[in-house]
Structure 1
Amino acid sequence: MKVTGEVGAKPTVTFPQGTPPAKSSEETVKEGSGTEFKVGDNVIVNYTVYTWDGKNNPTVGSTYDTGSSETIQVTDQLPSVLKEAFVGAKPGGRHVAVVAPDSLTAEQREQAKQSGQENVTQVLVMDMVGLKPEPVTVTGEAADPGLKGVEVKNPEAGKAPTLTTKTKEKAPAELVTKVIVKGTGPQVKSGQNLMAHYIGKIWGSDKQFDSSWERGQPATFQIGTGQVIKGWDQTLVGQTVGSRVLVSIPPALGYGEQGNEQAGIKGTDTLVFLVDIVGAY
């Protein structure tokens, strides 16, 4: 097997003739640099997956096609050959793993059997980006949001803030952004994965429709590329990590005329978010 192309771009794989191997293996195509990954790490990786069938060897999927890297936790739950490929790898490296049935756990073998994939061998080409950053804690002096009808209470660091939107004030017709706490981290760029703690409420009613704080962990999503509502893409790109930002979003930049029935959001509702930007990568 031959793997060519630059790290950081979708690879080209030339498969040998003959029957795919029944035994798993892994190989370093290019050595990375820096701290080695270990069990328990959350590794950001770009990968391309192929099914080695000895005929067409089709591509199953690639993060280079979706435009977004993924995070994989290095645990014993991974097929053993993938775990071997990750442990000891370094940022910037490229590794290839041939995942044959022999490296699957008993549970994975059973799942493969149920889907008729028990004899399938796959090939993963993995470009190691780095470790997923730990979320920061928003600290610093909080400013008055200065948005009539909205109240924010800032607690001690690491605790959920309070957002109140029960008001008779008319909602702003335009998109409004107010930086409550200015973070000192790097600037958020379009296309990055953004880690955020947030509270979402409806203007006027104080109805909360979402809160990452109540789920106990920040949400992670791609920003600036249309993966979230327009109001987020247009306000969070350019902010700095460690910031707390208040955003008022008119319907057209939220869920539009159709609203979001599952969340109880009507097509005329103005959305108010209080967002802690705790990481970007």
Structure 2
Amino acid sequence: MPKSPRLTTAAAVSAAAVLALSACGGDSDTDATSDGKTDASASSASSSESSPVTLADPKPEDTKKVEDIEITEAKGKKAPSISIEDKPLSVTETTRKVLDEGSGETLPDDAYVEVDLAMFSGKDGKAIEGSETYTSAPIVLSLGNEGALPGLVKSIKGQKVGAHGVSVMPPKDLFGDQGMPQYGVDGKDNLVLVYDVRGIMPQEAKGKAVTPKDKTLPTVKWKADAPADITIPKDAKKPKKLVTEKLIEGTGKTVKKGDQVYVSYTGVKFKSGEVFDSSFKEGRGPFPFVVGQQGVIPGWDKAVEGSKVGDRLLVVVPSKEGYGEQGTPDGSIKPNEDLVFVVDILSAP
């Protein structure tokens, strides 16, 4: 069955991946504050009212519980561990203690943030299997995604790049009454999060502009917050093979098979120029997928592998590299229909 250009959550095999996909926003079926200097005892001091993604004034008893957590830091690419004295640990509201404020840029409220994290059960302090990213690669969280996993957003929001801390989240701020039984978390468990803010993901490709040599290719007019305008030349010939041209040449890491990447994109039909999908549609955002894992159409895997973070790609996809003879199940892409995409490679943490 042909794949959607958007991931079908095939990469969500660990708790960390589930968290990343949930907190990154978007709908994969159709296609992935407080001052940075305040700690848990002083956050959001200006108001006792809190929005779903803003830390409330912590209760003294909650603050003490968080401050009593002992953290054993690890060196290199190893995850920290924790020790809890009074078990089970529970708080009434997500409560945070900043251990290091960081010295980088303050995180914008709508930023996509690269974060290393490790999660532990408040019941016994044991690590949640598959939740840590220190030994692999950071996940990307959308601070503007108010609809999912508010405890994660509350824990990170308002801080600086380089911040390091610990927070405790009640069930209502993470998995709710249903818990996450596949990872040993029931609906009554509080969770402890240790985190490091690594960076802010750019909103668009960054690098040197490149003019395609082939003048018969579709042209692109980029828009910062809306689907790009892609114009198909009137005399354009039906593509026989995959064509990938750089519009911006990035300077980041080269993407390899098996890397998880975050991209923004717009796709149009080659014949009509009609937009059929875009990460810029309302409720969407940068889209994650794992290169070479058949979670996207073949043309995407081939175009992105070997490219660099920061590249903007024009990708002309013949039907055999797209949805093939079947088209899409919903009929939005017809059988043997060719496609054109503009793709920004934003991150490959």
Say if 1:39 and 1:74, in contact at 8 Å, map to a contact too: no
In structure 1, the residue matched to 2:287 is 220
Q: Which residue of 2 aligns with 1:135?
A: 204
- d(CA) in 2 for partners of 1:164, 1:192: 30
In structure 2, do the counterparts of structure 1 residues 241 and 218 end up closer, same or farther at CA, with 3 Å as the change threshold?
farther
Other structure's SS at 2:330 match:
helix
The TM-score, its normalising length taken from structure 1, stands at: 0.67
Q: What is the rounded CA distance, in whole Å, between the counterparts of 1:167 and 1:63 in structure 2?
A: 52
Deviations 1:181-200 (A, max 9, x none): 3x253246323533323233
Using the alignment, how far apart are the partners of 2:167 and 2:102 within structure 1?
Answer: 19
- 8 A Cα contact 1:41 1:131, kept in partner: no
1:121 to 190, 194, 215: 190
Question: Hey, what's the Cα distance between the residues in 2 that align with 1:197 and 1:247?
Answer: 10
Q: Say yes or no: does 1:199 pair with 2:267.
A: yes
Length, aligned pairs only: 262
Does the aligned pair in 2 maintain the 1:51–1:59 contact within 8 Å? yes
Deviation at 1:69, TM superposition (A): 0.8
Would you say the 8 A contact 1:137–1:278 is kept in 2? no
Give the aligned partner of residue 321 of structure 2: 253
Partner in structure 1 of residue 167 of structure 2 = 97
Match of 2:22 in 1: none
Q: What is the alpha-carbon distance in structure 1 between the residues aligned to residue 138 and residue 333 of structure 2?
A: 29
Task: Go from structure 1 to structure 2 and tell me whether the alpha carbon gap of 1:171 and 1:83 turns closer, same or farther (over 3 Å shift).
Answer: closer
- 1:185 maps to 250
AA aligned to 1:34 is S
Give, in whole Å, the separation in 2 of the partners of 1:41 and 1:156. 21
Of 297, 304, 325, the match for 1:229: 297
Runs of 5+ unmatched residues, structure 1: none
Residue 206 of structure 1: CA displacement?
4.6
By how many angstroms is 1:94 displaced? 3.8
Q: 1:200 to 1:5 in 2, by over 3 A?
A: farther
Correspondence for 2:106: 37
TM-score by length of 2: 0.56
CA distance in 1, matches of 2:233, 2:284: 23
CA distance in 1, matches of 2:137, 2:298: 18
Equivalent residues in 2 for 1:1-281, closer than 5 Å: 1-6=70-75, 8-9=77-78, 11-16=79-84, 19-23=87-91, 26-27=96-97, 31=100, 33-35=102-104, 37-38=106-107, 40=109, 42=111, 43-54=113-124, 57=126, 59=128, 61-62=130-131, 64=133, 69-73=139-143, 78-79=150-151, 83=154, 87-91=158-162, 93-100=163-170, 112=176, 119-135=188-204, 140=209, 142-143=211-212, 145-147=214-216, 151-152=218-219, 154-155=220-221, 160-164=228-232, 169-172=237-240, 174-179=241-246, 181=247, 183-187=248-252, 189-190=254-255, 191=259, 193-201=261-269, 203-204=270-271, 206=273, 208-212=275-279, 215=282, 219-222=286-289, 224-226=291-293, 227-239=295-307, 244-256=312-324, 258-262=326-330, 264-273=332-341, 275-277=342-344, 279-280=346-347
| Shift in alpha-carbon separation, 1:264–1:134, aligned structure 2, 3 A | closer
Compute the displacement of 1:17 (Å): 5.9
Aligned to 2:29: none
Q: Deviations over 1:65-115 (max 9, x none)?
A: 996612241899944x97466544542x542222247xx6xxx59x94687
8 Å CA contact 1:40, 1:75 repeated in 2? no
Change (3 A) 1:167 1:67: farther
Rounded Cα–Cα distance in structure 2 between residues aligned with 1:208 and 1:253: 18
8 A contact 1:139–1:157 mirrored in 2: no
Do the aligned partners of residues 50 and 254 (structure 1) sit closer, same or farther apart at CA in structure 2, a change above 3 Å counting? Answer: farther
